[in-house]
Structure 1
Amino acid sequence: MTTLTPCLWFDTEAQEAADFYLTVFPNSRITETTETTYYGEAGPRPADMVLTVEFELDGHPFTALNGGPEFSFTMAVSFQIDCTDQAEVDRYWDALTADGGQESMCGWLEDKYGLSWQVVPRRLLELLADPDPGRAQRVLAAMTPMRKIVITELEAAADAA
């Protein structure tokens, strides 16, 4: 089976970012196979600087790369976090917006490294899939101006007459 592994390009923060993400997501670790590689005397970055960090977030493989300042993240690519309830939404939202992260709209945020995340409660998707198009449209209208998604407000909008 082929494994798809997102490679996250950082300037110099690959190890720091990987360590941070390990504190945010359960069942996460630096992988034991390759773990961390370093630049050598051949460059192009300083010798002994971290080149790559292989890690897993809740069992999903990632690579963090210190590639240099040439590229940065955009909201065109994001990672969606499927949350079971409001407490989980709040926990991820607070952790990922801490220390310089930025809230965006409709459950999107950028963490302190500029990586975009969508913090999505399952209940939102259930309400949007409601067979009553009026309920689904009221939920969509309520969600659109939100930053962090608030489930009780979505449910109230769905039930509004």
Structure 2
Amino acid sequence: MQTRVHPFLWFDDQAAEAADLYVSLIPKSRVLDTRTYPDGAPGVAPGTVMSVSFELDGLPVEALNAGPQFRFTEAFSFFVSVSTQEEVDALWDGLVAGGGEPSRCGWLKDRFGLSWQIVPTALGELLQDPDPGRAQRAMQAMLGMQKIDIAALHAAADG
């Protein structure tokens, strides 16, 4: 038996819109399949998008339109590791656009309420610096940020 585990996201009615946004922002991503509700499905018009299968950087994701009964919480987030400030900025700006909410320490909610962590690899490197003073200064700087600023992290670590 082959087992594959992947995220399953419950949306009110924005699964296709969310999938389109996510694959437009994350490299090596694509929508694989969109399925619609059949005739006779309760509470929805025939042809309404039911679910979308897509990949984010090769990770399979399933999104379902099933109504407003359940909402996302910060207990689940997508963690996106990036190398450059340009990548941080593009993802952050794209995910916050249209009603998303910035949070702290690289976290945000997109306009659908899904939480994301946009984290440059430099943060992990600085937090693991063999000099505990540098690591502590980087940590304190990060705790005061919403979107992570790589140059500001380095400046803080350098004292």
- TM-score clears 0.5: yes
Q: CA shift at 1:42, angstroms?
A: 3.8
Q: CA shift at 1:39, angstroms?
A: 1.7
Residue 60 of structure 2: aligned partner: 61
Q: Which runs of 5+ in 2 are unaligned?
A: none
Residue 119 of structure 2: aligned partner: 120
Secondary structure of 1:4 counterpart: coil
Q: CA shift at 1:41, angstroms?
A: 3.1
Contact 1:80–1:119 under 8 Å retained in 2: yes
**Amino acid of the residue matched to residue 17 of structure 2?**
E
Q: Which runs of 5+ in 1 are unaligned?
A: none
RMSD: 1.2
**Amino acid of the residue matched to residue 43 of structure 2?**
R
Using the TM superposition, name which of 126-135 and 44-53 deviates more: 44-53
Q: Distance in 2 between matches of 1:11 and 1:45?
A: 12
Q: Distance in 2 between matches of 1:89 and 1:77?
A: 20
Taking structure 1 as the reference length, the TM-score comes to: 0.92
Q: CA shift at 1:40, angstroms?
A: 2.0
Q: Is 1:93 the equivalent of 2:86?
A: no
Using the TM superposition, name which of 11-20 and 35-44 deviates more: 35-44
Q: Distance in 2 between matches of 1:156 and 1:26?
A: 29
Residue 34 of structure 2: which of 26, 33, 36 is its match?
A: 36
Taking structure 2 as the reference length, the TM-score comes to: 0.94
Q: Distance in 1 between matches of 2:43 and 2:157?
A: 54
Q: Distance in 2 between matches of 1:40 and 1:7?
A: 21
Aligned length: 157
